[in-house]
């Protein structure tokens, strides 16, 4: 009777060990899926912020300062160039895509400056502007997170407050 209890305890111990291992595997798989989901969410948030940042300067320039806007679709990989002449006529701002990076070029009299508008952690795959009417254009930006490979396409209608879109 005494040996029988020892055998029974050994079986119970093995069953408990199998149960613990099974639960650990289930927990590890669930934890891995949770972490992957969290990384996707963080990547999507970063991509949305990058898109909003990329829209912010063209939106402000078009609404507040542009007297005339010209759209050219002959840029890098068929992307658009948005050329804004300011209301005083002394400054020209051009937004364009080159090498998967979005740029803002400023020309004022004899001075010229170029600023990067996209984040280093993203690749801008598309920058396209479409004239809706003389006061509105539809801007489409497609960006990819270089780390995760996730990508989004964002569109926004930009309004001109003081000028018109030519062409």
Q: Which residues pair with 123 in a beta bridge?
A: 144
Helix (H) or strand (E) holding 50: helix 2-60
Per the listing, tokens 């508008």 go with 117
Could you give the CA distance from residue 113 to residue 148 in angstroms, rounded to a whole number? Answer: 32
Could you give the CA distance from residue 58 to residue 50 in angstroms, rounded to a whole number? Answer: 14
Band (pLDDT 50/70/90 cuts) for residue 7 is low
Nearest to 118 by CA among 42, 55, 63, 73: 55
Band (pLDDT 50/70/90 cuts) for residue 8 is low
Q: What's the predicted TM-score (pTM) here?
A: 0.77
Mean pLDDT estimate for the chain: 88
Quote the percentage of the chain above a pLDDT of 90.
51
Q: Residues 6 or more apart from 71 whose CB is under 8 A from it?
A: 80, 81, 82, 83, 129, 130, 131, 137, 165, 167
Per the listing, tokens 């990547």 go with 43
Tens of pLDDT, residue by residue over 53-92, are 889 989 999 888 898 999 998 767 778 999 999 887 789 9
User: Considering only 22-31, 43-52, 153-162, which range has the smallest mean pLDDT?
Assistant: 22-31
Going along 14-160, which residue ranges are E strands?
A: 66-72, 81-86, 91-98, 101-108, 111-116, 122-131, 136-145, 151-159
Residues counted in the chain: 167
CA distances from 26 to 15, 32, 115, 150 (A): 16, 10, 50, 27
């Amino acid at each position: 009777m005494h040996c029988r209890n020892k055998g029974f305890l050994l079986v119970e111990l093995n069953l408990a060990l199998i149960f613990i291992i099974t639960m650990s595997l289930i927990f590890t798989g669930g934890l891995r899926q949770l972490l992957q989901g969290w990384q996707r969410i963080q990547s999507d948030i970063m991509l949305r912020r990058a898109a909003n940042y990329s829209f912010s300067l063209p939106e402000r320039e078009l609404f507040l300062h542009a007297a005339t806007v010209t759209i050219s679709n002959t840029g890098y990989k068929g992307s658009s160039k948005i050329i804004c002449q300011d209301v005083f006529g002394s400054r020209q701002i051009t937004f364009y895509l080159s090498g998967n990076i979005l740029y803002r070029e400023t020309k004022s009299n004899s001075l010229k400056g170029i600023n990067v508008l996209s984040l280093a952690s993203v690749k801008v795959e598309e920058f396209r502007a479409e004239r809706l009417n003389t006061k509105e254009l539809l801007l489409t930006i497609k960006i990819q997170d270089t780390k995760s490979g996730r990508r989004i396409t964002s569109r926004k209608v930009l309004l001109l407050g003081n000028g018109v879109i030519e062409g």
